Amino acid sequence: MAKFNRILLKLSGESLAGDQKQGINVERLNQYAEQIKEIAQMGVEIGIVIGGGNIFRGLSGAGKGFDRVKGDQMGMCATVINSLALSSALDAVGQPNRVLTAIRMEPIGDFYSKWKAIEAMKQGQVVIMSAGTGNPYFTTDTGSSLRGIEIEADVMLKGTRVDGVYTADPEKDSTATKYTDITYQEVIAQGLKVMDITATAMCMQNNLPIYVFNMDTVGNLKKVMQGENIGTLVHP
């Protein structure tokens, strides 16, 4: 039995790049697809939001002279590219899936609605929700919070390249220590980089717990679904 019935899995675009640092690492992509199929076979209903930072990040683009709105729109398109790549990888391993977009772009993907997403998940399809919220100034973290709340997920699983939430960035500070669990209020008060403040506040206001774990270690997603304590739970 899986610990959660319905999840929102947030994947990092940067993680999708693997050691390449940009673009799509096919080996990493295929690992993600296999892990997602593995928990789908456990009967878990799965919604996915994937970032686009491996291709283009709107905020960093704005810092280089891009118009912020157009930069964010480019970032939304980057998430669609990643979503199509993940969809193709899921097809290759025989896992039914569906891409929904927050901006109309049929036939690339169907226009997102909560009811389309839930119906597809109940039919056993993995639903990949792309293009963020469809609006500039909102990150894919906020997009994943919104989608997780809308589809009535039991939890948001934030798959990153670190194994949880730390007192500081463990990649920069060797003295950083890991939390087993932490409250939303503590995350915001301490300025911890779990997600942006808007995304964290949305989860707090709607009681959507966040579980942060290392998605890049093969097998970890199944461990989370089996209830193993390998990451950090952010909760009320």
| Displacement of CA 123 from its chain's centroid (Å) | 21
Among 18-27, 99-108, 141-150, the least confident range: 18-27
Domain range annotation of the chain: 6-235
Question: Residue 61: its pLDDT value, please?
Answer: 67
CA trace torsion 146, 95, 43, 209 (10° rounding): -20
Among 56-60, 69-73, 87-91, 113-117, the least confident range: 56-60
Is the model's pLDDT at 39 over the cut of 90?
A: yes
Is the model's pLDDT at 222 over the cut of 70?
A: yes
Ordered alpha helix ranges (H), 58-139: 58-63, 68-92, 114-122
Please state, as a whole number, how many other Cβ atoms lie within 10 Å of the Cβ of residue 208: 24
Q: Which CATH architecture has domain 6-235?
A: 3-Layer(aba) Sandwich (3.40)
Which residues does residue 105 pair with via DSSP β-bridges, in sequence order?
109
Question: Residue 59: its pLDDT value, please?
Answer: 67
> pTM for the complete prediction?
0.95
- Mean predicted confidence (pLDDT) in 139-164: 96
Please state, as a whole number, how many other Cβ atoms lie within 10 Å of the Cβ of residue 129: 30
| Displacement of CA 40 from its chain's centroid (Å) | 16
